[in-house]
Chains A and B, each alone.
Chain A
Amino acid sequence: MRSAAGTVPPRAQAGMKDSWKTRGYFFSCVCVPEENLEIDSADADIRMEALISSLEFLSGDVIRACLTTREPMDFRAGQYVTLIRNGVARSYSIASLPQAGELELHIRKIPGGQMSGWFHDAAQVGDTVSVVGPSGECFYVSGREDQPLILAGTGTGLAPLYGIVRDALQCRHRGPIHVFHGALNRRGLYLVNELRELARRHPQLQYTPAVLGGDEAGDAAVGPIDSVILSRIPNLSGWRGFVCGDPGLVQMLKKKLFLAGMASSDIYADAFLPAAPS
């Protein structure tokens, strides 16, 4: 269950991740309300129309699509929305902050992909799609502003991380923040200049792009992202982690961060599941 209004007794949220608590989830079996509580089913989501306000290439195969919803959507950077068009539904993470007034999505072109193909080849500014959401518990929760954070992802796993890092900075996070973005090669990295500029303006932020292929790495680190992270920060005890991208990579990274000492309750992850075959 989820609370829509009112305070949930702490006992009914014991053992939950902070981001679940923030969204109002609670265990109904042990919840004895101490005041009036307005509740929702756990999966209550809102569907609304959204207008494409801009389309821009971030790299050879990633488009940044900004959408404006008809009514303001209450979301946290790092959550995801599901877009629906002509009976096709696909989920994308939100890279923007609510104050931006729009949903920023990073859409990679998938070979034969129905939604991504439309965005890359046909969509125009002013077109509309339906949006359902937001969903997901991979976002920044304030309260421990000095805790060191690690944000790691590959490919468009950068989208939620780009939102989360700016959310943390806006919430005046003081502890060190390390952003690691991995790609096969230099062409797969994007928002490199934006992240470097962000790191220049915020001394607590470090940004490390990493590529697997060494030939044209430039100034990016070379190697699998888990090795790149652990060679820089071998002991992650006390850290909070955000891990996004391909499901296999997310599962592997979660385990590596955990074994390096990160508490399981401090690991937030969003695995990008492939669309079900239709």
Chain B
Amino acid sequence: MEQQTTQTLYEQLGGQPAVNAAVDIFYRKVLVDNRINRFFEGVDMDQQIAKQKAFLTMVFGGPANYSGKDMRTGHARLISMGLNDSHVDAVIENLGATLTELGVAPPLIAKVAALAESVRNDVLNR
């Protein structure tokens, strides 16, 4: 008898190797995006890459250790620098472009974008 398996979004995307493949592409897009790169100035690259990995793991539906409180405290400094909805839009756009570049199917990209949307209010502290 054939066994029915339901893959999670994280598994469908390819798990940790997919996160590792996406992180450099995504971070490069963010660093050259003039709408948002000022928020990353003076930030140590290795620390930022680690954070981007955690973020991608979360929006891929993977095992995440982020809490809403982490999101709020982690972005408090950026809010004082003027972080708003337009910047979150830009991040989600870069995320989508990264996944397109990696050949991910549009319905899966939509699911990832929805997970990213779910933390918008925490990030913007409202």
From B20, which residue of chain A is reached at the shortest CB distance?
Answer: A15
Q: A264-B24, A264-B49 are in contact. Are A259 and B44 (CB under 8 A)?
A: no
- Give chain B residues whose Cβ lies under 8 Å from the Cβ of A259: 28, 31-32
Indicate if A251 sits at the interface (CB-CB under 8 A).
yes
* Nearest CB on B from A230, distance (A): 14
- Give chain B residues whose Cβ lies under 8 Å from the Cβ of A178: none
Given pairs A14-B16, A255-B31, A258-B31, 12 additional interface contacts (CB within 8 A) = A15-B20, A15-B53, A251-B44, A254-B45, A255-B45, A258-B24, A258-B27, A259-B31, A259-B32, A263-B24, A264-B24, A267-B45
Q: A14-B16, A15-B16, A258-B24 are in contact. Are A264 and B45 (CB under 8 A)?
A: yes
From A254, which residue of chain B is reached at the shortest CB distance?
Answer: B45
Indicate if B23 sits at the interface (CB-CB under 8 A).
yes
Total number of A residues with any Cβ neighbor in B under 8 Å: 10
From B50, which residue of chain A is reached at the shortest CB distance?
Answer: A15
> Complex formed: what's the CA distance from A14 to B19 in Å?
12
Task: Please list the 4 inter-chain residue pairs (A to B) with the smallest Cβ-Cβ separation, ordered nearest first.
Answer: A264-B49, A254-B45, A264-B24, A263-B24
Q: Counting chain B CB atoms within 10 Å of each CB, which of A254, A255, A259, A267 scores highest?
A: A255
The size class of the interface chain B forms with chain A is 10 to 19
Q: How many CB-defined contacts (below 8 Å) exist between A and B? A: 26
The 8 A CB mask of B17-29 against A (1 = contact, 0 = none) is 0001001100110
- Give chain B residues whose Cβ lies under 8 Å from the Cβ of A15: 16, 20, 53
* Nearest CB on A from B55, distance (A): 15
Binding site secondary structure of chain B:
helix
Q: A258-B28, A259-B31 are in contact. Are A264 and B23 (CB under 8 A)?
A: yes
Measured CB to CB, the residues of B under 8 A from A are 16, 20, 23-24, 27-28, 31-32, 42, 44-46, 49, 53
- Give chain A residues whose Cβ lies under 8 Å from the Cβ of B44: 251
- Give chain B residues whose Cβ lies under 8 Å from the Cβ of A14: 16
> Complex formed: what's the CA distance from A258 to B44 in Å?
13
From B19, which residue of chain A is reached at the shortest CB distance?
Answer: A15
- Give chain A residues whose Cβ lies under 8 Å from the Cβ of B53: 15
From B49, which residue of chain A is reached at the shortest CB distance?
Answer: A264
> Complex formed: what's the CA distance from A37 to B16 in Å?
26
Q: 5 A-B pairs, CB-CB below 8 angstroms? A: A255-B31, A255-B45, A258-B24, A259-B28, A264-B49
- Would you call B16 and A251 a contact (CB within 8 A)? no
- Give chain A residues whose Cβ lies under 8 Å from the Cβ of B49: 264
* Nearest CB on A from B27, distance (A): 7
Within 8 A of B (CB), among A237-278: 251, 254-255, 258-259, 263-264, 267
